[in-house]
Amino acid sequence: MTDMTPPLDGIRVLDLSRVLAGPWCTMTLADLGAEVWKVENPDGGDDTRKWGPPFAEGESAYYLAVNRNKKGIAVDLRTPGGQAVVRDLAARADVLVENYRAGALAKYGLDWETLSAANPRLIYCSISAYGRSSPMADRPGYDFVVQAEGGLMAITGAADGAPMKVGVAICDVLTGKDATQAILAALIARGRTGRGQLIDIALLDSTVAALVNVGSAWLVSGKAPGRWGNAHPTTVPYQIFATADGMVALACGNDLQFQALCRRALDRADLAQDPRFVRNVDRVAHRQVLVPLLEAIFAGGTTAEWFSRLEAAGVPAGIVRDVPAALGAPEVLARGMVATVDHPTIGPLRLVASALRLSDTPVVPPRPPPLLGQDTDAVLAGVLGYTPERIATLHGEGAVSGSGPARL
C-alpha cells in the first residue's frame, strides 16, 4: 500500500532566516512536510515584506514567493522573554536555520554551542555570505555582490558588454538548495548516529561551485573565460537566433543533431557536408563563419515555422518566452507549477509551486505564506505548552506579538 505521508512529516524546523537563501531552504523543507516555525521581528518582520512593488493587499510579491507552508511567529530576540521562547523552540526542533551576522546570535544565547548542548540532536544550519570560517566571516553580503565576487558576472552578458547579473538572485537560490541538501543529509546521518551537527553554508561557496565547466576550463587550461552572451564557449550552434517575428533558442549538443538541423530542418545539406562544420570542434573553430550563415537563414521565416521544423527534425529548440508566457505555457500549467491558495487577506492568490515530484510521498498542498505573527499564540500554546497567562505576559513585555487567524 502506498504511503502518502510527506517525507519530512514529524520534522520540526526553527527558521530564523530572512530574505531569500534561508527562506528558500525552509520553504523546501516545509513543502516536504516539515513543520516550519518562521520567526520574525515584530517590528516589520522579514526584510522582503517591504521589497516592492508589487504588493498584494500589503504583502510583497517577493515575500510571498518563498514563505508558503510555514507558521509565522513574531518574537523580539532583544528581549529576555523572546530569547527564552526561541531557546524553548530550539529544544524541540530537529533543524534550525539562521543567516544572522557572525556572532549576532551568540549574544542572545542562540548560537550552535549553546543550543546543541541543550539539544544534541539539533541540526544547526548557518547561512552566510562568505562562511563562518572565512577570513571575511564578519563581512555582510548580498546576492548581487556575491555574483560579482564569485565570477558569475564576468561570464554573463554580451561579449563586448559589461559584466551582467543573472535576472534572479541566483546565488541565494543555489545556496538555499545547497542548504536543503546538507540538512537532508544531516537528517540521514542523525538516523545513524543520533547526533545533530553544524552546517556552514556560504553564498560564495555555492556560487563558485556553480561555475562548473567554466571553472573547470580555467583550472585545466589556465585561460580566463570571457562572456559569450547567449552563445556557448564549446558547443556550436548553441544560442539564440532571431526570426522574422521573434527568437528561437537552438541547442545542438552533438554532431548528429547538427546533421538533423541542416538536412531536415534547414534543407541545407551543403552545410552538413562542409568539412568546416562536420565536427563540433571544427564548428567551434569556424563559428564566425557558420553563425552568420544560420542567422541569415533563420531571419527568413517566422518563429512558429522554424520551431515546427526544428521539432519535426528532433533538434532541441525552444521559443524565447517572456515571464507571462512561461508561467502560462500549457506544459507548465499541466505540471501544476502555478498553484492558487486562499490567503486570509488577499483572497485567491497565485503562487509558483514546488518543482519536487515524488510518487509515494508527495509534497504537501501549498498553504499561503503567514501574516506577520499569524501563528504566535498557537505555536506558544500548542508546541511549547505555555499557559494563556504566560503568553499574555510575553505580549505585555513586548517579547512577542501576533495578528491574524491562528493556524494549528
- Among the listed residues 31, 111, 143, 172, the single catalytic one is 172
For residues 128 and 137, give the distance between their C-alpha atoms in angstroms, rounded to a whole number.
8
What is the tally of helices (H) and strands (E) in the chain? 17, 14
Residues 6+ apart with CB under 8 A from 61: 52, 53, 54, 55
Interstrand relation of 55-56 and 95-98 (parallel, antiparallel or unpaired): unpaired
> What are residue 201's DSSP bridge partners?
127
* 172 part of the active site: yes
For residues 218 and 372, give the distance between their C-alpha atoms in angstroms, rounded to a whole number.
47
Query: What sign for the dihedral angle of Cα 155, 159, 164, 169?
Result: negative
CB 97 within 8 A of CB 172: no
> What are residue 317's DSSP bridge partners?
250
Q: Residue 403: its pLDDT value, please? A: 58
Domains, the chain, with CATH or none = 12-210+359-401 (3.40.50.10540)
Give pLDDT tens digits along the chain (408 positions): 566 899 999 999 999 999 999 999 999 999 999 999 999 999 999 999 999 999 999 999 999 999 999 999 999 999 999 999 999 999 999 999 999 999 999 999 999 999 999 999 999 999 999 999 998 888 888 999 999 999 999 999 999 999 999 999 999 999 999 999 999 999 999 999 999 999 999 999 999 999 999 999 999 999 999 999 999 999 999 999 999 999 999 999 999 999 999 999 999 999 999 999 999 999 999 999 999 999 999 999 999 999 999 999 999 999 999 999 999 999 999 999 999 999 999 999 999 999 999 999 999 999 999 999 999 999 999 999 999 999 999 999 999 998 544 443
Q: Which residue has the cell 512577542?
A: 400
Q: Residue 141: its pLDDT value, please? A: 84
> What are residue 343's DSSP bridge partners?
347
Q: Residue 228: its pLDDT value, please? A: 92
| Residue 365: φ, ψ to 5° | -60, 140
Q: Residue 231: its pLDDT value, please? A: 93
What order of strands is seen across the sheet that includes strand 238-242?
238-242, 247-251, 317-319
Q: Residue 2: its pLDDT value, please? A: 62
Query: Would residue 3 be called left, alpha or beta, if left means φ above 0 and alpha means ψ between -120 and 50 degrees?
Result: beta
| Residue 292: φ, ψ to 5° | -60, -35
